[in-house]
Structure 1
């Protein structure tokens, strides 16, 4: 993979340190890292649990990569869940690297929360922080990260609190994200039933016993082979209108 044309080869004194599966911990100049697959590396920080902590770290099994991805707060977990649901995300890595720079007085460092890969090969570096919790030092680190991403040919996003209704719907569907929920011939029957838009529960019943068809239906909604009307605005329910997603091969 060629180095993106936008990368300043001289560049500021920015270095990245990360965990390489072959060489262990490495620290290299930014210009040497722009083609690295940071969605596949191990986190540079350990996700620790201790009594009395304000944060709630943990591991989330991502269907996108079929492996566990770490988070350090409920907000990070929520954003991770939405990234896993996003069809334009094909790879996710948490705490992928440390950014090292010197502010004129001392060395500084910042570890972005996520590195994601798009289907076209492009990359996005993500920091997750609620608007009201951004302190001056955080704003400085985010701005530095944004400028580094411009040099590397990556995109940078700072994500805050997501929409509550959309999150609730995706959280429900995430219970059925594992491939084991995709069962035939129930999936084929559901695709056929929802060729024409119809209520969620009525369609599940039309495809067979709802106890067996509902998990498959929710998995197809997770895969976005089926689309729920007004999902960002209304909670999923028995009367939610569902239809086969346009352009999906049956």
Structure 2
């Protein structure tokens, strides 16, 4: 059992970096940035409040009321557009959040699974200097995790990243570091991670447990298979839904790096006995 629990991507203790392949801006992109003396004063971020813009130099951005702001650009829908925008409900925040592509929607699902305190799409419009002059970039999300850390995100499939994108991502990474934030470019997902998160998210909303099945599942979870675990309860058909819900809540654990099925080993998660 311990070998099974130690392998792969443990859903009950994983962090975002475990779920996505690594991405690092190229040295060539970073070397194009104008990061000489005073760059944090010259670079700026535009935030929107009630439709009006306010400009903060990057040196003061960490103190700005970013989460009181509106998205830096509006979400639009039109015929034959090449991206897929929409609104997604997050259990963690209890609200709908905008996204501009299916890849961005997947990141919101992962953030909801990992539990965030707050998420703001399109948080600001960055104006930065580089060898070719001035450029602008709107990062995709800014989030506050449960440990208080702030994460700035860009989302772009690896195959679609061009040199101009790499330059913008390098600039966003420099700004995040200056603010004391973490920065991540989400280029995709490790094998099977997204398919399992998608399955678990079907039971992400609160689930009434009048039959006490969740307690039975948590007490019996010892590395046995998903199928055997639900079969050990007093009402296996209903227990399946509760098992998926507990996996989403991270009160049960599974390997996110493998397809989820009846043979998947399940164990008691790090959030066991969570109220």
Give the structure-1-normalised TM-score. 0.83
> Which residue matches 2:40?
11
Say yes or no: does 1:209 pair with 2:238: no
TM-superposed deviation, 1:118: 2.5
* Structure 1 residue 141, shift from structure 2 partner: 1.0
Structure 1 equivalent of residue 259 of structure 2: 235
The alignment's C-alpha RMSD in Å is: 2.5
Task: Tell me which protein shows more helix as a share of its residues.
Answer: 2
Q: State the shift of 1:24 in Å.
A: 5.2
- 98 and 221 in structure 1: CA distance in 2 versus 1, 3 angstrom threshold: same
Tell me the secondary structure at the aligned position of residue 242 of structure 2: helix
2:174 is equivalent to residue 150 of structure 1: no
Q: Does residue 76 of the first structure (1) align with residue 104 of the second (2)?
A: yes
Tell me how far 1:37 sits from its aligned partner: 5.5
Which structure 1 segments of 5+ residues have no match? 1-7
Is 1:34 equivalent to 2:58 in the alignment?
A: no
1:197-237 CA distances to partner (integer Å, 9 max, x unpaired)?
22212322322323422222111101111001x331x2111
- Kept in 2, the 8 Å contact 1:79–1:162? The answer is no
1:57 aligned to 2:85?
yes
Contact 2:45 2:61 in 1 (8 A): yes
- Which of 205, 223, 226 is matched with 2:249 structurally? 223
Moved more, 135-144 or 185-194: 185-194
User: Is the partner of 1:125 in helix, strand or coil?
Assistant: strand
CA distance, structure 2, for counterparts of residue 33 and residue 98 of structure 1: 12
2:24 corresponding residue in structure 1? none
What does residue range 96-111 of structure 1 map to in structure 2 within 5 Å? 96-103=123-130, 107-111=134-138
Greater alpha carbon shift after TM alignment, 127-136 vs 181-190: 181-190
Structure 1 SS opposite 2:243: helix
Secondary structure, counterpart of 1:52 in structure 2:
coil
**What SS does the corresponding residue of 1:168 show, helix, strand or coil?**
helix
132-141 vs 203-212, which moves further:
203-212
Aligned-pair CA distance for 1:25: 3.8
Alpha-carbon distance, 1:38 to partner: 3.6
Summarize the Cα distance change of 1:40–1:211 in structure 2 as closer, same or farther, 3 Å threshold.
farther
Aligned pair count reads 237
Per the alignment, residue 176 of structure 1 pairs with 203
Larger relative contact order (CA 8 Å, sep ≥ 6): 2
